[in-house]
Amino acid sequence: MIDQATGMKPGERYRVENVERAHQFPGFFQDGKYYLGPELLTAVGWIEGTRFIYDSVDAEGEPVFPNREAGTIEGLRLTLVDSTALELSRIEASETIAPLDDHKKSGTEQEALRGGVQSRGPLRGKVVVITGASSGIGRAAAHAFACKGARLVLAARDEEALFEVLDECTDCGTDAIAITTDVTRNDQVQALAAQAAEFGHGRIDIWINNAGVGAVGNFEETPLEAHEQVIQTDLMGYLRGAFVALPLFKAQGSGILINTLSLGSWVAQPYAAAYSASKFGLRGLTEALRGELTEFPDIHVCDIYPAVMDTPGFRDGGNYTGHALTPPGPVYDPELVAKAMVACAISPRAHTTVGATARLAHLASYLVPGLPLLSGWLTRRGINRSPKAETSSGNLFEPPSGRRSIDGGWRKSKDKTPLLIGAAALGMIVGFAITHSRRRS
């Protein structure tokens, strides 16, 4: 039903037909509110009766209109407070709203766009699903995609932390929803896909499998249910994500599936057997999916292989060693992985390695057949030299307590120890390779 006062129809968008001598209105009206752009769904104005209230400020931060009242709207005509009359016209569903040049924008429009969301770009308005979005790499990815103007569907088990991330992303000006999801549950992953598709008006452009847990300890001293939970999350959780995303991608003819793997996908991790099984399994899963998708050139499966990242994972994971756990150096910024994900979303590539250590591990996996033996010795030595600690299931079966974050706090400014350890490890690997080669010859 058309509003008899303003002349607007519910659910429709209306642009202002701007004229040069008047204040410029680059956005649109919809359902009694005024928005700055098609996907920047943060209202900066609204209609009260026929009065148009607009929170616009100039470059100095001063209100453009006294008392925030820009004018009145009657019969699809906006009459400004200075009596300038501007016509309103309905925007067709196939049209887009082109942003004005910067020198024509008010302080409000310029500040909104400077706040992080880009007015243009290949990810603008794309629907992106991110699992494990409450902390670590997933949280960093949420921020990175929000700043590119993507529309986000954030998923994780920790509802409180998830809504914190939601607030952080919407503060950037993008549109996002949070859906509490346990990727070990078929029904919850299916519900995530259904709600994401509804949010995207039937479309999902990018699905990021990122949720992950870990359990460290001697194989037989780690409870079987802990091993099972790692595999259910780190392998089966990714399979479930692919299972619900790919049919949508095929129906729409395009889509990008991004999987977070690990340097552990190449080099087995002694004392983390289930984690190794999952990460090695993911390599097989993704390669198999690529083989099935050769008839769909616009559907891509992208693997991200990070080195050891400074996330809360080591602190929050299951620990059955009896010792405190610290990540082996060098430790990298998780923002690097988020940037790699954005790069894959813009220009898909099958394999992306993040961090020099991951590249070295990949190379060593081919050059040093006995590398897991060396890895086992280094891990065992590191664990035994660590302080005693209580065993704990950590975040295996429920979200961890305490504040969630991107960083784990493992990096220290100007601390060169991780680099030295990395260099020493590389030297040991090279030495091991040479020795092994001589013995074989």
CB 136 within 8 A of CB 309: yes
| The one catalytic residue among 275, 305, 320, 332 | 275
CA separation for the pair 166, 177 (Å, rounded): 7
Please say if 275 is a catalytic residue.
Answer: yes
Picking from 195, 190, 197, the residue whose alpha carbon sits closest to that of residue 240 is 190
Strand-by-strand arrangement of the 176-180 sheet: 176-180, 151-156, 127-131, 206-209, 255-260, 299-306, 351-354
Q: Which residues are bridge partners to 88 per DSSP?
A: 16
CA separation for the pair 29, 32 (Å, rounded): 7
Instruction: Give kind and range of the element (H or E) at residue 311.
Output: none
CA separation for the pair 317, 339 (Å, rounded): 25
Neighbours of 38 (CB within 10 A): 17
Picking from 407, 395, 405, 300, the residue whose alpha carbon sits closest to that of residue 345 is 300
b/e 90-102 (16+ beta carbons within 10 angstroms → b): bbeeeeebebbee
Q: Give the residue numbers marked as catalytic.
A: 275
